[in-house]
Amino acid sequence: MASPKLQVAVAGLGRMGARHALNFHNRTPRAELVAAFTPVQKEADWAKVHLEGVPIYNDYQEMLKHPGLQAVVVATVTTAHAEEAIQAIEADKHVLCEKPLSTSVEIVSCLPSAIEFTMNPNLCCQQSQSVVDAAAKKPHLKVMCGFSRRFDASYRDAFDRMDSGVIGRPSILRSQTCDKLDPSGFFVAYAEFSGGIFVDCNIHDIDLALWYFGADSIVKSVVATGITAVQPELRKHKDVDNGVGIVEFWGGKVAYFYSSRMMAAGQHDMTEIIGTEGKIAINSNPIGNLVEMHEATGIRRQIPGDYYGRFEHAFVQEAHEFTAAVLDNTKLPFKLTGAVQAVKIGCALQESLNSGKKINFDETGRRIEASKL
Amino acid sequence: MASPKLQVAVAGLGRMGARHALNFHNRTPRAELVAAFTPVQKEADWAKVHLEGVPIYNDYQEMLKHPGLQAVVVATVTTAHAEEAIQAIEADKHVLCEKPLSTSVEIVSCLPSAIEFTMNPNLCCQQSQSVVDAAAKKPHLKVMCGFSRRFDASYRDAFDRMDSGVIGRPSILRSQTCDKLDPSGFFVAYAEFSGGIFVDCNIHDIDLALWYFGADSIVKSVVATGITAVQPELRKHKDVDNGVGIVEFWGGKVAYFYSSRMMAAGQHDMTEIIGTEGKIAINSNPIGNLVEMHEATGIRRQIPGDYYGRFEHAFVQEAHEFTAAVLDNTKLPFKLTGAVQAVKIGCALQESLNSGKKINFDETGRRIEASKL
Amino acid sequence: MASPKLQVAVAGLGRMGARHALNFHNRTPRAELVAAFTPVQKEADWAKVHLEGVPIYNDYQEMLKHPGLQAVVVATVTTAHAEEAIQAIEADKHVLCEKPLSTSVEIVSCLPSAIEFTMNPNLCCQQSQSVVDAAAKKPHLKVMCGFSRRFDASYRDAFDRMDSGVIGRPSILRSQTCDKLDPSGFFVAYAEFSGGIFVDCNIHDIDLALWYFGADSIVKSVVATGITAVQPELRKHKDVDNGVGIVEFWGGKVAYFYSSRMMAAGQHDMTEIIGTEGKIAINSNPIGNLVEMHEATGIRRQIPGDYYGRFEHAFVQEAHEFTAAVLDNTKLPFKLTGAVQAVKIGCALQESLNSGKKINFDETGRRIEASKL
Amino acid sequence: MASPKLQVAVAGLGRMGARHALNFHNRTPRAELVAAFTPVQKEADWAKVHLEGVPIYNDYQEMLKHPGLQAVVVATVTTAHAEEAIQAIEADKHVLCEKPLSTSVEIVSCLPSAIEFTMNPNLCCQQSQSVVDAAAKKPHLKVMCGFSRRFDASYRDAFDRMDSGVIGRPSILRSQTCDKLDPSGFFVAYAEFSGGIFVDCNIHDIDLALWYFGADSIVKSVVATGITAVQPELRKHKDVDNGVGIVEFWGGKVAYFYSSRMMAAGQHDMTEIIGTEGKIAINSNPIGNLVEMHEATGIRRQIPGDYYGRFEHAFVQEAHEFTAAVLDNTKLPFKLTGAVQAVKIGCALQESLNSGKKINFDETGRRIEASKL
């Protein structure tokens, strides 16, 4: 007889929710998608076709009561995330907390009110922390925040190489998350609750810095700037469409980040880990597939149009590993607490962007007020 | 209620058989692996772990009687293929005919006795034809020979681009199938029944020529040469470890091929379609993943180590599409008869390699005897 | 009869001086190297062999009196540059002012005392300004500071493309100057008078920002950080071996820079100009030559080992164009005053590195004291 | 006093002749262009501007009598080459024999009548041989046939790497010479006297095979085919616009070649040397410069538009080395006799193209008549 499969539900069937639902439904052999929740009729209609046979709830609490349900993927609208994650934890479900509207927001999903935290980074961290606290009370549950790059084969290969010592001591990390230009104005509406470009996009890059430099890295300073090159209306949400930031860590390590909403060619996320004896570059040369066109204008390659085009297999792998960790009661590949640290740095960058000031931290990671410098 | 799933069995659980079994078991949502056949105990043991719950038969005929069985993937030892394919057809099963021992043999799988056809290409084509004939008697069955590159996203993108006219009239095709050097001597033993390097490796490239130039292309001439650079013992099987061949088609088209068993860096299969107004290159720059190492010796990329590393997703796609074609009774993406044409060309190249002579064909594709030239 | 050739002398025959001398001697058809100056015996000996027939002076003032001399390339030790440039101008010679010890210091050459200006950027700018002032009094003279990248074919092509509008409005510039790791300790000794990594290396990148964003760009803010990953002794000279800086310009443009002394693979200088409708990358994929090695460890390319390996042809082009501008009395390709602006930014970055503070400027480019923010 | 410079003249100031003249005039420090010959008024006018001060002769014999003349570069119309080369040798001049009308014809230049030798390869070799014979009588003279790739830095680096043993025993060579599509019909007119695509284009690739496999390599067989994809009128000159050929050498080595006149993107000449332990690729990824465009259609690079764009520096290096060999009386980098062997192979490929037959040679390199096989 076959092993029992993880009984999993997905909350939210928007862009990313639908992908998660399909991945658990079709591409995760050890899991069975047993329920889904969406309050949106169009999404429920979609589910009838693509998630044939899976019961669709329009009440989240009802879905949590689905018989035999073991785990929930939270992928609803951002503002509901933290609350829903905490409710799932309280209902004794394992949780994979994801993002609803964007290809690149992760941690935001774990927070009750993304709008506010661009105003108040401390609050932002508190809300992020509340999910961690809820999870801490149920140590038998697996609660994971979906940093998809952690599951990407190239990022993992890079980590293993770095970890083997071949580049010496990792010292500088450069990382960017750059979206294809979307002239529809989507990003302006989205910025209202995205947390800002450093929280929304660079949160991935920050997480990579914490991965490659070590989860115990302590921030020394944060500074950021940015412009609105294509969407000036972003300023009303205190956001930009191109941001540059530097994060200094105690112990002689520096990470610097770039995020953009106006790449012409497509999604171009890349990272360099520069060590004392070598450098590892991930995706310096983005590719859509293995085709090169030789034309009168030269040789041309296309690149992925969006985040999912780049990281599709990482999302599938994420589903596999979350499933395995629950079924086999093994450790998740990274800790939930790191997500709080990433949000803290992202919010500080966003604050620096808006205040125009560099923010400093002492060797324990506590913020040093400007007046005390 | 969910749609019924294709009830499929895999015959043979060697290297490629095991991959097919896993793909149908875990990665093909619309199919259910209901049975497998292997006479090898080690493979049966492997199946208990990796194909948990799937009944394993050690008698092929018994497996064909598995209740509800609809389709069979033939992936046993090469010499049994054609016979098993025909038996499955006669038992009224849909058939996906595959190869057993190599990452790169396709059509060979469809033939009873690979050894002989290097000696006698006409016989070779007859045997290949016998599968076609059996299939022709059961037009309600889907019978497909697994040319994996036909399912590869890059090759398909290339076809669509070519088909849209952007490179003008396709005129020259260059294609190579090059395996990583395997110093174990595997390829020598393997050559005994592989049909030779042009049938084993370049069959893929020949199939690509028939795809890109059109299934109705008529061969005008065939010439080949080769060497045994690393494995001189191959000569006892009338084979080589590096082969170069040219196939001329009537109507002003030329394909030329290279195959090798001694690539240092890994598997490097690539194709160029050269048209009157542009060129499409597929996999000119092979990559293992998106990592680049910057080291004292320069910048380095790794490439896939074997055929499956390059074409894994194509095999999964093949399983999806074969499944869909059966369940929905839609057309297979290409015709079985093309496989006979590919084998004919491959065998002619192999014959030219060994005779040292160019072989010519008239405008109907009939061979012109040298004495008549 | 042939046109008269520019009678040119080179002051300093160290690494870069020797290259300039050879370029004017052998590779600049319209120029004739008629004299050289070096106080170093070893260099004079070298000249006897490689600059056969060219008189070598060990007194700079004597060289300036060489009959018929029209132009001087200043490439002596850094600390003598500004003084020698001014002396040459006063002696009515055209001047190409270069750097002596490094492959990457340009503007430093124009300054009397490089040591001091890391301490006092205002002084630094004053000294740079003094060369400009001397030149201003002799408007018939051509006085150029050698920003070699301005003569590089790829950088020029990039400018022309940007200028044609294909990438929309240039908004973000990323640029790096990264030297191969030199474990000899050279860079520590060198840092004593190099002006620091932002003045020494990133001065090129700053100049590119002023080129691509426009010579009239006004700095809004400057912030930098850095580490000593491989050469901690650099701190005694207030320098680092890896630096990251952000320069914001009024009008919504941002440049960010990276410089490093520890690249394993070789020299990697690169630039990206990101516009509202496209991006131009220069040297994202550095190459030494057109050879790729396919080996057991993958596919590998070597890259240039040093600055001259990357920019050799730009230096030759610089010699050609300086010569032509003098002989034909045409405009130099860029203005000397821009060099002062570049030094100002470089010194501000270096100051920010050491103070840990962001420096702000008003819309006229005047510095805003922190107390006034 | 400076060393005496080589007194050199250029015969022919067409496309390549003009380039040679400029290279010796401006870019070859040890040479002095003292005369040039052209019967064409337009070229003589050009020379007045660009070769200022250099006497221009309209009589070749007169030019040979120019006082002090030491060496001649033969770059007139093809049909005059061999005769002029022999006349120069008889006048006791060193000779660098070049091509007149194309970017890619080399050896043709050394032959009196290119038209005929496609008809009669033996004659072709005889004529080529006549230059060798004339040179043999004057062993104190340096007589070189301009195979420009022999002077290219990447090809030399490739040779050195191969020679050091890192790829094991070189076994397979793939090489192509592919011109950008020229819709003007130039190539049709040109084909009348080019010798055909294998002699005109692939002669370079053949020469590379003789370089990398060794000058003493003996041809075992030759076979070729081709098509007229864009210029059907080429058939009247027994030529094609796309050719594929295989050359087998005794001792287990195979070279295969491709030449084309219809590349959309530009000149793409490339070579692979495949050894038993590795592969060296030269120019797999052609580049015009270091710029990459990121656009809505992807990432794009331009490539050189013609042969000179790819090999400019090799031609300059050729001038330097020819000059040095004469002045210092040192050995030329390769032997004139190799050129005869290359022409022999090129003519055999062209013959095979037109006869449709494979040509075989015995172990001494003597041709085996088909009737004796």
CB environment B290-310: b (16+ within 10 A), e (fewer): bbbbbbeebbbbbbbbbbbeb
Place of tokens 């090169």: A292
Nearest in space to B147 (alpha carbons), one of B84, B212, B196, B193:
B212
Rg (CA), chain C: 20
C68 φψ region: left (φ > 0), alpha (ψ -120 to 50), beta (else): left
Q: What is the pTM of this model?
A: 0.93
State mean pLDDT over B182-199. Answer: 82
What pLDDT shows up at residue D127? Answer: 67
What pLDDT shows up at residue B310? Answer: 97
Q: Is D264 on the interface with A (CB under 8 A)?
A: yes
Identify the chains in contact with C, defined as 3+ C-beta pairs within 8 A. A, B, D
Could you tell me if D153 and D258 are in contact, meaning their C-beta atoms sit under 8 angstroms apart? Answer: no
CB contacts of A268 in chain D (<8 Å) are: 294
| Residue B116 predicted with pLDDT over 80 | no
Percent of chain B with pLDDT over 70: 89
A56 has which bridge partners? A36
For A344, half-sphere exposure in the C-beta direction (CA atoms, 13 angstrom radius) is 21
Q: Which residues of chain D have pLDDT under 70?
A: 1-2, 77-79, 99-127, 193, 371-373
Q: Would you write out chain C's pLDDT as a tens digit for each of its 373 residues? A: 457 899 999 999 998 899 999 999 999 999 999 999 999 999 999 999 999 899 999 999 999 999 999 999 998 866 677 889 999 999 999 999 874 222 223 333 333 333 333 334 444 556 678 888 999 999 999 999 889 999 999 999 999 999 999 999 999 999 999 999 998 888 888 787 777 899 888 999 999 999 999 999 999 999 999 999 999 999 998 999 999 999 999 999 999 999 999 999 999 999 999 999 999 999 999 999 999 999 999 999 999 999 999 999 999 999 999 999 999 999 999 988 888 888 889 989 999 999 999 999 999 999 998 766 5
Strands (E), D276-354: 278-282, 291-295, 298-301
Nearest in space to D298 (alpha carbons), one of B301, A314, A298, A258:
A298
The alpha carbon of B313 is separated from its chain's Cα centroid by a whole number of angstroms, namely: 15
Strands (E), B182-275: 219-227, 242-249, 253-263, 270-275
Q: Is A42 on the interface with D (CB under 8 A)?
A: no
Could you tell me if B308 and B198 are in contact, meaning their C-beta atoms sit under 8 angstroms apart? Answer: no
Question: Which ipTM score applies to this complex?
Answer: 0.91
Q: Is the CB of A263 less than 8 angstroms away from the CB of D303?
A: no
> Phi then psi for D91, rounded to 5 degrees?
-85, 10
Pairing mode, strands A219-227 and B31-37: unpaired
Q: Which residue of B has its CA nearest to A155?
A: B291
Average pLDDT, chain B: 89
Q: Is B27 on the interface with A (CB under 8 A)?
A: yes
How many Å apart are CA A59 and CA A57, to the nearest integer? 5
Other CB atoms within a 10 A radius of the CB of residue B139 amount to 8
- Write the CB contacts of B155 (distance below 8 Å, at least 6 apart in sequence): B149, B208, B271, B282, B314
CB contacts of B26 in chain A (<8 Å) are: 29
How close, in Å, is residue C81 to chain B by CA atoms? 35
D264 has which bridge partners? none
How many Å apart are CA C151 and CA C321, to the nearest integer? 9
Q: Is B258 on the interface with D (CB under 8 A)?
A: yes
Q: Is the CB of D284 less than 8 angstroms away from the CB of B284?
A: yes
Task: Find the CB nearest A225 among C229, C248, C265.
Answer: C248
Q: Tokens at residue D355, please? A: 């006869």
What pLDDT shows up at residue D191? Answer: 81
CB contacts of D264 in chain A (<8 Å) are: 294-296
What pLDDT shows up at residue C194? Answer: 74
Pairing mode, strands C31-37 and C6-11: parallel
Identify the chains in contact with A, defined as 3+ C-beta pairs within 8 A. B, C, D
A-C contacts (CB, under 8 Å): 102
How many Å apart are CA D302 and CA D288, to the nearest integer? 5
How many Å apart are CA A239 and CA A196, to the nearest integer? 5
Question: Helix D153-163 to helix D202-213 angle, to the nearest 10 degrees?
Answer: 30
What Å distances lie between residue B18 and A226, B13, B25, B46, CA to CA? 53, 4, 10, 9
Q: Tokens at residue B253, please? A: 């088209």
Pairing mode, strands D291-295 and D298-301: antiparallel
Q: Is B21 on the interface with A (CB under 8 A)?
A: no
3-class secondary structure, B237: helix
3-class secondary structure, C83: helix
How close, in Å, is residue A301 to chain D by CA atoms? 5
How many Å apart are CA A239 and CA A247, to the nearest integer? 19
Q: Is C373 on the interface with B (CB under 8 A)?
A: no
How many Å apart are CA C210 and CA C196, to the nearest integer? 20
- Mapped to the 3 state alphabet, what secondary structure does C189-230 carry? HHHHHHCCHHHHCHHHHHHHHHHHHCCCCCEEEEEEEEECCC
Reported residue count of chain A is 373
Q: Is the CB of A289 less than 8 angstroms away from the CB of B25?
A: no
What pLDDT shows up at residue C112? Answer: 33
What pLDDT shows up at residue C122? Answer: 47
Q: Is C263 on the interface with B (CB under 8 A)?
A: yes
What single DSSP character describes residue D59?
-
Q: Is B358 on the interface with D (CB under 8 A)?
A: yes
CB contacts of C3 in chain D (<8 Å) are: 52
Q: Per-residue confidence at B122, pLDDT binned at 50, 70, 90? A: very low
> Phi then psi for A307, rounded to 5 degrees?
-60, -40
Could you tell me if A67 and A157 are in contact, meaning their C-beta atoms sit under 8 angstroms apart? Answer: no
List the Cα angle C92/C94/C95 in 5-degree steps. 120
Nearest in space to D49 (alpha carbons), one of C181, C2, A209, B154:
C2
Q: Which residues of chain A have pLDDT under 70?
A: 1-2, 77-79, 99-127, 371-373
Nearest in space to A252 (alpha carbons), one of A218, A290, A286, A289:
A218
